[in-house]
Amino acid sequence: MVSWFSKIFPNVVNLGWLGDTGWGTSIGQTLYMTFWSAIFGGLLGIIFGIVLVLTNSNGIRPNHFWFNFCDKVVSIFRAVPFIILLAFIEPVTEKIVGTKIGIRAALVPLTLGVFPFYARQVQVALESVSHGKIEAAQSLGATIWDIIFTVYLKEARSELIRVSTVTIISLIGLTAMAGAIGAGGIGNTAISYGYTRYDNDVTFIATVLIVIMIFIVQVVGDFFAKKLNHQNR
């Protein structure tokens, strides 16, 4: 089996598992960038999404200024192509993490690239919560924090899992472009060691690995979304 694989995918084997070009290294870099960008981008997305829902004209705390501010920030960042964002915020990235290249540097543009998309998804998910439940909570004297955590986030948790799954899948795709600032990862392996060298076996295996990652995220996300949806009933 090993000899067959080496014969069919010689360039894949030549890259090895460890080292700067190793597959294990590339997988670890992709997982690192995806995990931390999902955490930071997710927190920003949740915050902006909640503020957009609360301060909307139909929200429980209407505020024209804060709604417009958050709405414009989200819209502007969503409008900027990610590859341009990488270059545009290089000075900010260096100030925050102390370097313009590498996987740590990639976390800043990845976070800023994914949070506006997630914020809109969160906004839509929270707006789907029944106004009747919100009004019932208010009539019982619930505070704004009670409504956020026990009504909005609790009632929309299944939908939030679904949009989080979509966002993480999108984020995995963005990590491929992060190779433009030397961040590495599977996408960078596919381009640098596969496409540019015409080593199609490297490109093929890198693509398969990305597909497997996306499949795992989708399966896990669907499982928890369905489970939480049943618990809501």
Identify the residue whose tokens are 């472009």.
177
Does residue 109 sit within a domain?
A: yes
CA-CA distance, 193 to 203, in Å (whole number)? 8
Does residue 14 sit within a domain?
A: no
pLDDT at 2: 63
- Chain-centroid distance, C-alpha 78: 13
Contacts of residue 84, Cβ cutoff 8 Å, sequence gap at least 6: none
What are the DSSP calls for 66-117, one per residue?
HHHHHHHHHHHHHHS-HHHHHHHTHHHHHHHHS-SSSHHHHHHHHHHHHHHH
Whole-model pTM: value is: 0.87
Domains contained in the chain, number = 1
Does residue 95 sit within a domain?
A: yes
pLDDT at 181: 62
Does residue 75 sit within a domain?
A: yes
Cα Rg of the chain, angstroms: 21
Does residue 4 sit within a domain?
A: no
State which residues form the domain around 63. 21-232
H helix count then E strand count, the chain:
13, 0
Does residue 173 sit within a domain?
A: yes
Task: Specify the DSSP class assigned to residue 28.
Answer: H
Nearest 10 degrees: Cα torsion 110, 111, 112, 118: 110
CATH number at residue 57: 1.10.3720.10
Using an 8 Å Cβ cutoff, are 9 and 205 in contact?
yes
Does residue 1 sit within a domain?
A: no
Identify the residue whose tokens are 């491929």.
176
What are the C-alpha distances in Å from 23 to residues 16, 155, 193, 198, 204? 6, 41, 11, 18, 13
Report the chain (233 residues): mean pLDDT per 10 consecutive residues: 72 78 87 92 94 90 92 91 82 82 84 92 90 85 87 89 93 79 78 79 88 93 82 54
pLDDT at 164: 94
Does residue 13 sit within a domain?
A: no
